[in-house]
Copies of this chain bind each other. A is one copy, B any other.
């Protein structure tokens, strides 16, 4: 059951504690903002000393209010946090928004104060947003506290940064979009990103969710909420702060965040079908496409340009984004030809070559042929639509008509059109937006967004896996313990014998068959410490190797696994403090060292999912059999990795578990080393 956030977003009454007349204080802005909603709800201003604030009666304390305030906003310094919070609860508040900075993000003591406060809030059955937050916004309820610049629209926002949300709202407004609801998460002492996303998923006017988050608290709950939103048809765009070392440093001082590794966030995005973005600009660009009535669903793009150079540049940019520009059929080319001057081109890109100047209706007619051709998935019109209106006012009406016709053509064909123009403020561009056509300022942004949405539409996110019930905790984390625990979990390893003496080693090797490998036990990084000798072909080799590798903990002797063709994988799980165990698969050896060619998923993962993951690696052709190589046992590798991920999921006491390398041959996948970190 999601928490009921109605008292936060649609309060029947609101009180501003710390309401002020001083224009340098938040209390002044918040009071002003609250009063703008006076026609929708009772607004109470509370100020310890002033009798009047902003021309309204002010109350000396919450206790004096004529009714219980449903929402209380605390615009008071951190020192007064507990006192005003308790007074709010006493006054009957159902939701509290705490602006004050300097609590949980400022260190241990502040965190303890937050925890204690939250306990009291929850005991009272109320909600707390913040502290260290900017405010809250609900377009339909006309509630805009700390967010007076926001304009209404379909985007729901949850953000740990007020400024980031403000930037999104400004960019969104330029794109003809706006915000449905916004919660400034602050320190997430009580309400966190998961709660807000969960509520937004069920909030009818919200059609897309944008999140800026540094600390995911219960990361799996957050991912589940995001997956539910996607299932409900609402894309979730995630800007996760702290993808770099410097970003981590910044996030730690900003919200005292316990920031997850970037790979863990990637794994959560993959599971939940969130789109991970890296800037506010990207968020609004993608929102334009995802909120349009028609979404690009395939890679086949037609480019229409009113200028040869624009056509060439857009074609190059499209190719760089992985989009395809199919050559149009003769039939379509023949339908285009009469609409274009003789110097126009009818294949793809289609170059107007001045058709627009000759007849503005070309802006509808030419794309219409493409939209109706059945040969492409999306049309990009790039160039100067709107420029005629900008330079010749008498052309505004016909140009706007053409723009409306273009929007209609897309709608009738059921194929999306996207427009790039420098004249995005002119009436033709407005007509396009009103008709559901996304308008971009630059071709680069348009094309990368189209490519991203095509991938989005093709995804089938598996959802957030349940963690299995914990198995009995592991006793040891030595090499042989790791091997046997993982073997029991279903991963194949070659035989291994623990040996204490030369004679035992020789006996083991005789039984296993030469060549053998010798490994010193009791070392965490055996290879680096010289504790591994491979390919020992004779008794002498083995005896010499043993003599050169003293080990108080003894040794292991194993048969060498050989194959004509094989690939080494790295398979491991690491426990993220927020998202739990994360499965990582990657190619080993050179690929790991130079390319960091890895893919991640939330553990436990199913074999089918891991197989897909393996195929996303750049080095995947080595597994599938490129250029005459035999295909390798990819499914077996996926099963081994899935088994490892189940094992990690069932052992919460493990910080890390790794099989590196996992040797994949044409017939099997065999672990050649294993490591546990408790």
Contacts and interface: CB of A to CB of B under 8 A. Distances in A.
A3 to B, nearest CB: 24
A313 B347 contact: no
B279 A241 contact: no
B247 A163 contact: no
A313 B316 CA distance: 29
Contacts of A170: 422
Contacts of A249: 315, 325, 327, 347-349
A251 interface: yes
A325 B250 CA distance: 11
A246 B348 contact: yes
Interface stretch (A473-481, A619-627, A653-661): A619-627
A198 interface: no
Contact of A309 (B105, B106, B212, B244): B212
A88 interface: no
A292 interface: no
Contacts of A595: 595, 618
Nearest to A171: B422
Interface string A640-663: 000000000000000000000000
A260 interface: no
Interface stretch (A90-98, A350-358, A498-506, A568-576): A350-358
A134 to B, nearest CB: 9
Contacts of A171: 422
Interface string A374-397: 000000000110000001100000
A426 interface: no
A626 B349 CA distance: 45
Interface string A172-191: 00000000000000000000
Contacts of A616: none
A212 B328 CA distance: 26
B311 A254 contact: yes
A253 B307 contact: no
B161 A309 contact: yes
B442 A163 contact: no
A246 B306 contact: no
Contact of A310 (B164, B316, B358, B594): B164
Nearest to A162: B307
Contact of A618 (B317, B594, B619, B621): B594
A319 B279 contact: no
B311 A250 contact: yes
A529 to B, nearest CB: 13
A336 to B, nearest CB: 13
B309 A243 contact: no
B306 A163 contact: yes
Contact of A312 (B242, B307, B383): B242
Contacts of A317: 278-279
Contacts of A23: 392
Contacts of A372: none
Nearest to A619: B594
A538 interface: no
A349 B278 contact: no
A167 interface: yes
A204 interface: no
A304 to B, nearest CB: 11
Contacts of A166: 384
Given A105-B343, A162-B309, A279-B442, 11 more contacts: A106-B343, A162-B307, A246-B303, A246-B348, A253-B345, A278-B313, A278-B317, A278-B444, A279-B444, A590-B622, A593-B627
15 contacts: A102-B343, A105-B343, A160-B309, A171-B422, A249-B325, A249-B347, A250-B315, A253-B308, A254-B309, A254-B311, A255-B308, A278-B317, A278-B320, A279-B443, A594-B619
A-B pairs with the 4 shortest C-beta distances?
Answer: A161-B309, A163-B307, A254-B308, A244-B319
